[in-house]
Amino acid sequence: MKNLIIILITACIGFSANAQNDVVTKLFNDYYDDENFTKISVSSKMFELFTHIEPGDEDEEEILEAVSKLKGLKVIAADSVGNSKELYTKAVKKISGNGYEELMEVKDAEEDMKFMIREKDGIIDELVMVVGGNKSFFILSLYGEIDLKKISKLSKGMNIKGMEHLKQLDDNKN
């Protein structure tokens, strides 16, 4: 009887822990069956395989170094949704109330952007970026040991404007 009670309590704690950790994953699940959204998932096993890739140039070497401590990546993107701002607000609301800390938020005429992080023992173990444009919507979740300096350094000197990559991601998926 005692064992049963312990199992039940553990199960309940497990459920609540899951509820907290899987908030971003849940968002991914929400759009899983919607064909208007491109879903990309790269697991920790795949990240392990990246260690065998030979870098083609210095930039790639830098990227490989940046991903060496990462454990996963999830992307959900759409470039022609009518309610993108609404999706953005909904996503931000869902994520921010679940142990994520706001890193930065930028709102301009083109798009709203929010970066949220989750820290453990002083190390960022998850970074979530939510972008809501006029018709575009984008969530990127990166997890593992995240070094913000290394990541922000990657695009410096490169001519990348950002949201046009949504199109590239879409094209590659299709």
Partner 1 sequence: MDSKKVKTRLKKYWEGKSNLNEENELKSHFLHAPDGADPDHEYFTYLNKKSTQNPLDDQFDDEILKLIDKNKQSRKLKNNVIKYWYVAASLALVISVSIIFKDKFIKVNKVENVVEMDTYKDPDKAFEETKRALLLLSSKLNQSSVYAAQFSKFEEHQNNLKQN
Q: Does 102 bind partner 1 (CB under 8 A)?
A: no
- 3 state SS for the chain: CHHHHHHHHHHHHHHHHHHHHCHHHHHHHHCCCCCCCEEEEECHHHHHHHHHCCCCCHHHHHHHHHHCCEEEEEEEEECCCCCHHHHHHHHHHHHHCCCCEEEEEEECCCCEEEEEEEEECCEEEEEEEEEECCCCEEEEEEEEEECHHHHHHHCCCCCCCCCHHHHHHHHHHC
Instruction: Using the minimum distance from each CB to partner 1, give the nearer residue, 123 or 160.
Output: 160
Determine which residue in the list 68, 94, 99, 129 makes contact with partner 1, applying CB under 8 A.
129
Handedness of CA 15, 70, 127, 111 (dihedral sign): negative
Binding flag, residue 127, partner 1 (CB under 8 A): yes
Q: Is position 82 an interface residue for partner 1 (rule: CB under 8 A)?
A: no
From 81-89, 93-101, 103-111, 118-126, give the range in contact with partner 1 by CB under 8 A: 103-111
Nearer to partner 1, 74 or 118 (CB): 74
Which residue, 37, 41, 8, 13, is CA-closest to 25? 41
Chosen residue from 87, 131, 133, 144 binding partner 1 by CB under 8 A: 131
- Using CB under 8 A as the binding rule, the residues of this chain from 31 to 50 that contact partner 1 are 32, 39-43, 45-47, 49-50
The footprint of partner 1 (CB under 8 A) covers 1, 4-5, 8, 11-12, 15, 18-19, 22, 25-26, 28-29, 32, 39-43, 45-47, 49-50, 52-53, 60, 63, 66-67, 72-75, 104-106, 108, 113, 115, 127, 129, 131, 140, 142, 148, 151-156, 158, 160-163, 165, 168-169, 172-173
